[in-house]
Structure 1
């Protein structure tokens, strides 16, 4: 669950409510990890996965044979072949593992053996809506496919203050006068206007120029967007954020450390060192992509030795500032591996459930068998802390030696489900509900710190980020955790 560079939908509204109800479906225990096998082996679909499989909780259907793959999206009586998943490699990115489910006829696909499970049921043939000849690239079909998907599969209309049915009814008459992709995009700009959910977006290109309709939540992003609008070097907001603004932030973090103590790995994806008062510092600036060519398994194998090095260097410190304030996401499995380094015993961390009838899956934080840090931890967060980073934060908040400080997080926990449309555009949307062990959902509101203060500043000269790190260190020196 990561955020990739894109252009930004300009209008924003504030939505900060959250669901507090407990999961509505009975939880399903996870399968033992040894039961899973790769979905794709030697470039072919493994025999177990061959067949037609209905993943109705995500509005998807798989049609797999040994040498051919088909992923179909379904909503509102429509069905189209997903243009994002047309070959074995892309299917491996979508559902890399598979196992027999609780009944002999059902299959469980998974993001990893210890990751998200996708429960499917067999179907004898593709529905007629998937196979009948029709123009699926027409503006009306694209409009209906997008709006039906949002109406059926999107869980957070209330949290993000959006009435998809009203917007659909109001905008559909405009489709009759749409004769180009530019005109169609104008309609979707209105459809997505003010929806402050970065996991829900529409992306594509027109005449070779990429676009992405997406909005972020909070004051930090409003100030950052304003700064971006005053420059003309970068055409895409997140390109500017990561390439122009972020290096200045990393310089501030380095300046906060005691001279000669700074260490890093993965091009500053991990940074550690020491602060005044024998306080340790560990910044986790990414949750994926530790090497350009690495997949999830590769990232996990790279992460372990780097964390061993960092914790060995920090073992003699009295407390730790754990900084995730500039981490915008990645993989939940990475968040699990890092949280395990701070756990004293196994604890329930959170549950997740697909909005449309999915089974509840519980995830635990289990102590790592090697190097760990069990002293007080001050978890520094900001509005930039998003997605898998927030999943990490919810794991850490369940540990007795951790206190969150800084800013409230972005409030986007759900995986972003992508649906490739017939015209080559891609709809991404939140489709899952994450809840902490008390049944609370923080989508749209974010995780609030125990000690709130500003972390992010556009102007690096003000040293807001450096001062935020030093304040966390001061809290670590003066604030006593009871655990």
Structure 2
């Protein structure tokens, strides 16, 4: 099991006696600029304000008690390292004060051209994958600026920015614009749209016995019919906290009740709750299927969530501590220092062989699971390479208030290779479509349901 508290204690011991005694006192009335991410931090007494910056504006992103949002890992006169609850630490440099635009609100309305330039500059400073996505970003500026200078409405600006986002083709880039500015899709020939939850239920009904589920099906498990093979479906890398009783976990109001408890918890507590929830449910799962001859882990429908959850789950299927990945972030001056992540096995981890099912819909934190799993010979993969979007979403804001996200963190395996854009490959290729609708429909021939991955696994044991 990964002992984050022990790691934090060791790091704090290296700070020196004064920092151990009261690091929050030393942070009182200080200002800091984050390395990468385009953000800064103001700390007054024990409270903080965390700002998003661009060339035109600086707006508060979050605020509250410093010890409820960040763990202080190191602190000296000029540098501060904080952990926000994930596996990536944030490094800050001390500043005499925040930029004036963080404390002075400018009520002037930005032009369409200024909004475009902030959008372009933010990607230029922080987006890490132009090369992997085969994008000439300077050429994008030259191509689109003349068009931007001619627009006369927010709708035209939205269309141009959405066109650029589509050109990049990164599933972690999102642009939040008002609904009235969105172009409605043309009505075409009706198509059958299969639902993820219906496919998951069909897999369970057709192939499993001794079925169980936790937290409204975020994770479910059982055994393949007529075999000694265990099966584990992980639908998401969020919502593992034990906030709702077992009696209420499958009720229609589960999400409402879950969110009510979650929203009452401080951010750092939420991360800890998630990991405690993983440990709690994995104890039950190991009791039920931990003696299986082998286990299938299905991540084909998992779009991501918390990387800490993904790696804690994986820790139950490995028996050796290994360096499984490194992370660095894009900055204006170059990348931040690489942070190595060492994955440690959980107590009473599964000892047998694992078949990991992946698809083009396996994304983000689920891909981090797959990326780390590559380092263990007992884990074999089947399906199709993953989506190829690993970074946390870095959320930024245009002067007009539109929010957008981008990928600024570079995840690599222990050999320094990144799978951004191409995804984590599989050893047993099933050629699933990269298109979600086509992938879902591939499980059906008319009304007949079949899962070729599960069929192939069942053939292996007959």
Q: Output the TM-score relative to the length of structure 2.
A: 0.80
Change (3 A) 1:266 1:340: same
User: How far is the alpha carbon of 1:277 from its aligned partner?
Assistant: 2.5
C-alpha distance in structure 2 between counterparts of 1:212 and 1:438, whole Å: 44
* Deviations, residues 233-268 of structure 1 (Å, cap 9, x unaligned): xxxxxxx98xx6112211222123344x11111111
- Secondary structure of 1:367's partner? coil
Higher relative contact order (CA 8 A, sep 6+): 1
C-alpha distance in structure 1 between counterparts of 2:362 and 2:109, whole Å: 38
| Partner of residue 346, structure 1 | 321
Please say if residues 159 and 444 of structure 1, whose CA atoms lie closer than 8 Å, have aligned partners that are also in contact.
Answer: yes
Please say if residues 325 and 341 of structure 2, whose CA atoms lie closer than 8 Å, have aligned partners that are also in contact.
Answer: yes
| Partner of residue 58, structure 1 | 37
Decide which of 263, 287, 300 is 2:212's aligned counterpart: 263
| Partner of residue 158, structure 1 | 131
Decide which of 126, 148, 152 is 1:175's aligned counterpart: 148
Please say if residues 350 and 363 of structure 1, whose CA atoms lie closer than 8 Å, have aligned partners that are also in contact.
Answer: yes
* Deviations, residues 356-403 of structure 1 (Å, cap 9, x unaligned): 23111000110112x321101000000010000010111111112101
Equivalent residues in 2 for 1:61-80, closer than 5 Å:
61-66=40-45, 69-74=49-54, 78-80=55-57
Please say if residues 330 and 388 of structure 1, whose CA atoms lie closer than 8 Å, have aligned partners that are also in contact.
Answer: yes
Are 1:415 and 2:415 counterparts? no
- Secondary structure of 1:280's partner? strand
C-alpha distance in structure 2 between counterparts of 1:192 and 1:461, whole Å: 32
Equivalent residues in 2 for 1:440-459, closer than 5 Å:
440-455=417-432, 456-458=439-441
C-alpha distance in structure 2 between counterparts of 1:272 and 1:446, whole Å: 26
* Deviations, residues 124-164 of structure 1 (Å, cap 9, x unaligned): 12335656647354322221111001112111112112222
- Secondary structure of 1:115's partner? coil
Are 1:117 and 2:89 counterparts? yes
Please say if residues 202 and 427 of structure 1, whose CA atoms lie closer than 8 Å, have aligned partners that are also in contact.
Answer: yes
- Secondary structure of 2:441's partner? coil
Please say if residues 256 and 470 of structure 1, whose CA atoms lie closer than 8 Å, have aligned partners that are also in contact.
Answer: no
Equivalent residues in 2 for 1:248-397, closer than 5 Å:
248-259=198-209, 261-275=210-224, 276-290=226-240, 292-293=258-259, 294=262, 295-356=270-331, 357-369=335-347, 371-397=348-374
| Partner of residue 466, structure 1 | 451
Decide which of 78, 100, 113 is 2:74's aligned counterpart: 100
Question: Unpaired runs of 5+ in structure 2?
Answer: 13-22, 242-257, 263-269, 433-438
Please say if residues 258 and 273 of structure 1, whose CA atoms lie closer than 8 Å, have aligned partners that are also in contact.
Answer: yes
The list of structure 1 runs, each at least 4 consecutive aligned residues, that deviate by more than 6 angstroms after superposition, is none
Please say if residues 82 and 419 of structure 1, whose CA atoms lie closer than 8 Å, have aligned partners that are also in contact.
Answer: no
C-alpha distance in structure 2 between counterparts of 1:315 and 1:86, whole Å: 42
User: How far is the alpha carbon of 1:190 from its aligned partner?
Assistant: 2.4
User: How far is the alpha carbon of 1:198 from its aligned partner?
Assistant: 0.9
- Root-mean-square deviation over aligned CA pairs: 3.2
User: How far is the alpha carbon of 1:230 from its aligned partner?
Assistant: 5.4
C-alpha distance in structure 2 between counterparts of 1:251 and 1:406, whole Å: 19
C-alpha distance in structure 2 between counterparts of 1:250 and 1:265, whole Å: 14
C-alpha distance in structure 2 between counterparts of 1:401 and 1:449, whole Å: 14
C-alpha distance in structure 2 between counterparts of 1:428 and 1:333, whole Å: 21
Change (3 A) 1:412 1:337: same
C-alpha distance in structure 2 between counterparts of 1:268 and 1:286, whole Å: 9
Please say if residues 53 and 121 of structure 1, whose CA atoms lie closer than 8 Å, have aligned partners that are also in contact.
Answer: yes
* Deviations, residues 405-454 of structure 1 (Å, cap 9, x unaligned): 11110001111111133322112000011110111110000011000004
